Amino acid sequence: MNNILVTGGCGFIGSNFIHYLFNQSDFKGKIINADKLTYAGNPENLKSIEKKYSDSRYFFEKIDIAKFSEIESIFEKYEIDYIIHFAAESHVDRSITGPSEFIHTNIVGTFNLLELARKSWKDRKDVLFHHISTDEVYGSLGDTGYFYETTLYDPRSPYSASKASSDHLVMAYFHTYGLPVTISNCSNNYGPYQFPEKLIPLMINNMLEEKSLPVYGDGKNVRDWLYVEDHCSGIWEIVKNGKRGETYNIGGENEWTNVDLLNILCEKVAVEKGKDKDYYKKLIMFVKDRAGHDRRYAINCDKIKAELGWKQSVNFEQGLEITVKWYIDNLQWMKNINSGEYRKWIEKNYLNRQ
């Protein structure tokens, strides 16, 4: 693991993974972070890493994985040993209104990476392409049951369909070309550095600004919530010890309806702000459900626990408290995003790089 290419490393999960990796005593190599810096890519998430490791163990490259020549330049510049592939368009609502970017990044981008890995690595077996996917490829569950690694794919949105397609491409390269690969499918992540279009940071931000808290439909849609650092530890276990050609589900085993989650979140924020625990609940409002809104996701993660010894480090109560405190302690980070100041900083420091 001399050189690890992390795609989408300036995003929410990717930046958390880079922080996690540099804190692991068994990682001595270098990280090349390749990111397009779309609206959700924020190198500010990695300022401390860049300051400490830049030009020695951490290298940033602004590239678009959907452009073959740009990702090819990374393989020419560095001898890549492992690829941890986070880069993806990931917001369901955006995929409904504008699916094109999801096809280009999630499908074409993954294909480009696989092709270059195949050509660069040839018959090497001391390499790995690890692909991060989602539980949404499995479709929707009823009131009972779980997604297993053997569950048939049944994607319902352009986002989940694009991720399902990329998953199949990854496995095709394993079976056709013998490319060493692993895949992980995770449940909903939460934690620090998440772009405030997603449910938990969006609701925290709205509470702090005393804006309405919109809930789709009846609010009874169920999601399984996974603390982002636990996701990162699961990925690292798979990368080190996972069987090549296998898929591993990483779940939080924390099922909550959207409305119950929001009520708990209201109470956590209220406590942190020194208000009555029900103070923010008056802001909750129900809005028209979105198209193709899956009713329930729930992941069974027995396989990664049994085979690799992984387990979650925090329960939902603890993870939510850590998350709420992080956003309240990092209000300037949130303000920079909401005001657009972070984009000005990115344009000044990153977008003009060649």
The string of pLDDT tens digits covering residues 139-189 is: 989 889 999 999 999 999 999 999 999 999 999 999 999 999 999 999 999
Token match 């420091």: residue?
A: 349
Confidence at residue 203, expressed as pLDDT on a 0 to 100 scale:
96
Residue in 20, 82, 146, 159 annotated catalytic: 159
Q: What are phi and psi of 50, to 5 degrees?
A: -60, -40
E-only strand ranges, the chain: 3-7, 30-35, 58-62, 82-85, 128-134, 181-186, 188-190, 213-216, 222-227, 246-250, 255-257, 284-287
Distance CA 35, CA 61 (A): 7
| Confidence class for position 343, pLDDT limits 50, 70, 90 | confident
Distances (CA, A) of 25 to 20, 29, 88, 95, 106: 10, 11, 29, 39, 32
Structural domain includes residue 136: yes
Question: Are the CB atoms for 134 and 153 separated by under 8 Å?
Answer: no
Quote the DSSP letter at residue 137. Answer: G
As given in the structure block, the two tokens for residue 148 are 């297993």
Give the distance, in angstroms, between the CA of residue 326 and the centroid of all CA atoms in the same chain.
Answer: 18
- Check whether 330 has a pLDDT greater than 60: yes
Mean pLDDT of 268-286: 96
- Check whether 73 has a pLDDT greater than 90: yes
- Residue 336: domain span: 3-349
Question: Are the CB atoms for 350 and 62 separated by under 8 Å?
Answer: yes
In terms of Cα–Cα distance, which of 250, 221, 239, 268 is closest to 311? 250
As given in the structure block, the two tokens for residue 111 are 């294909």
Structural domain includes residue 144: yes
Rounded to the nearest integer, the mean pLDDT of the chain is 94
- How many independent structural domains does the chain possess? 1
Structural domain includes residue 306: yes
Distance CA 38, CA 194 (A): 14
Task: Name 132's bridge partners.
Answer: 184
Structural domain includes residue 159: yes
Mean pLDDT of 307-316: 96
Residue in 64, 136, 149, 224 annotated catalytic: 136
Distances (CA, A) of 214 to 304, 308, 342: 35, 39, 25
Establish whether 101 is a catalytic residue.
Answer: no
Token match 């970017």: residue?
A: 101
Task: Name 83's bridge partners.
Answer: 5, 129
What CATH number is attached to the domain comprising 77? 3.40.50.720
Structural domain includes residue 338: yes
Token match 């397609």: residue?
A: 165
Question: Are the CB atoms for 9 and 18 separated by under 8 Å?
Answer: yes
Distance CA 110, CA 129 (A): 10
| Confidence class for position 293, pLDDT limits 50, 70, 90 | confident
Structural domain includes residue 304: yes
Structural domain includes residue 96: yes
Q: What percent of the chain has pLDDT over 90?
A: 86
Residue in 44, 64, 89, 135 annotated catalytic: 135
- Write the single-letter amino acid at 23: N
| Confidence class for position 309, pLDDT limits 50, 70, 90 | very high
Establish whether 135 is a catalytic residue.
Answer: yes
Spell out the residues 6+ positions from residue 272 whose beta carbon is closer than 8 angstroms to its own. Answer: 324, 325, 328
Confidence at residue 290, expressed as pLDDT on a 0 to 100 scale:
82
Structural domain includes residue 354: no
Confidence at residue 168, expressed as pLDDT on a 0 to 100 scale:
98
Establish whether 136 is a catalytic residue.
Answer: yes
